[in-house]
Amino acid sequence: KQEVTQIPAALSVPEGENLVLNCSFTDSAIYNLQWFRQDPGKGLTSLLLIQSSQREQTSGRLNASLDKSSGRSTLYIAASQPGDSATYLCAVRGGVTNAGKSTFGDGTTLTVKP
Amino acid sequence: KAGVTQTPRYLIKTRGQQVTLSCSPISGHRSVSWYQQTPGQGLQFLFEYFSETQRNKGNFPGRFSGRQFSNSRSEMNVSTLELGDSALYLCASSLLSSGGHSYEQYFGPGTRLTVT
């Protein structure tokens, strides 16, 4: 059974700081990994998708990496802003025992202080 | 392009009743997945539909069911509601590769179900 863990559960940083969010998964036979942000009471907004054959993806101030063999992904946020405050979730899709299902971590709640 | 839409946005039901939630995917997306999000269990996969067929199913009781129509719109139904079914129900749509692997998932705003 695929399990996804996100560390830390919560993070508070001053504005302008660079930060890294971590995601680990137990079954490395995944199809892809996707990072999302969720604002309170809202749906999920897709940030980055990394296919299993890729090592990283970048979008603006965001960079996500994937190391399938070690079962890890990181989301790097550069020059954080108060508007980045949200819960960040990673989701892995597929795997030997998961046949295309998506498994989510519990998320990291980020607070960026002005 | 319009995003994923879900109706209704909010719903209050009583224990024992049943409920039907609706999801309209992004135009051209034929894969629709449903998730349940609760504070205690996080986001959990319910099921995925493609071309009117259920492709994958999560570990939920048979009270949770779904279907997909020929226009890719999907509905999920929960029968005999329990207090623990109170949650945010999210729908996501995506394209599929030729190999059947899903690309980026796009989520709707969710339906907030409260069971009293």
Verify whether the Cβ–Cβ distance B56 to A45 is below 8 Å: no
Determine the Cα–Cα distance for residues B4 and B111; give it in Å rounded to an integer: 12
Contacts of A103 in chain B (CB under 8 A): 45
Q: What integer pLDDT is reported at residue B98 of this predicted model?
A: 59
Beta carbons of A104 and A52 less than 8 angstroms apart: no
* Structure confidence at residue B99 as a pLDDT band (50, 70, 90): low
Q: How many residues appear in chain A? A: 114
Is the pLDDT at A96 greater than 80? The verdict is: no
Interface residue of A3, A54, A93 to substitute, partner B, most B CBs within 10 Å: A93
Q: What integer pLDDT is reported at residue B115 of this predicted model?
A: 97
Is the pLDDT at A11 greater than 70? The verdict is: yes
Beta carbons of B54 and B48 less than 8 angstroms apart: yes
The DSSP secondary-structure symbol of B83 reads G
Beta carbons of B105 and A91 less than 8 angstroms apart: yes
Mean pLDDT of chain A: 92
Mean pLDDT of B33-52: 92
Beta carbons of B93 and B32 less than 8 angstroms apart: yes
Determine the Cα–Cα distance for residues A80 and A72; give it in Å rounded to an integer: 22
* Structure confidence at residue A16 as a pLDDT band (50, 70, 90): very high
| pLDDT tens track for A23-61 | 999 988 888 999 999 998 888 999 999 988 899 999 999
* Structure confidence at residue B8 as a pLDDT band (50, 70, 90): very high
Q: What integer pLDDT is reported at residue A97 of this predicted model?
A: 57
Determine the Cα–Cα distance for residues B101 and A33; give it in Å rounded to an integer: 12
* Structure confidence at residue B71 as a pLDDT band (50, 70, 90): very high
Verify whether the Cβ–Cβ distance B103 to A100 is below 8 Å: no
| Structure tokens given for A29 | 């036979």
Interface residue of B51, B102, B106, B112 to substitute, partner A, most A CBs within 10 Å: B102
Residue A54 CA: distances (Å) to CA of A46, A51, A68, A94: 17, 5, 9, 15
Determine the Cα–Cα distance for residues B27 and B45; give it in Å rounded to an integer: 22
What separation, in Å, do the N-terminal and C-terminal C-alpha atoms of chain A show? 41
Angle CA A83–B25–A61, to nearest 5: 25
Judge whether B43 is closer than 8 Å to chain A, CB to CB.
Answer: yes
Mean pLDDT of chain B: 92
Judge whether B87 is closer than 8 Å to chain A, CB to CB.
Answer: no
Helix (H) or strand (E) segment spanning residue B27: none
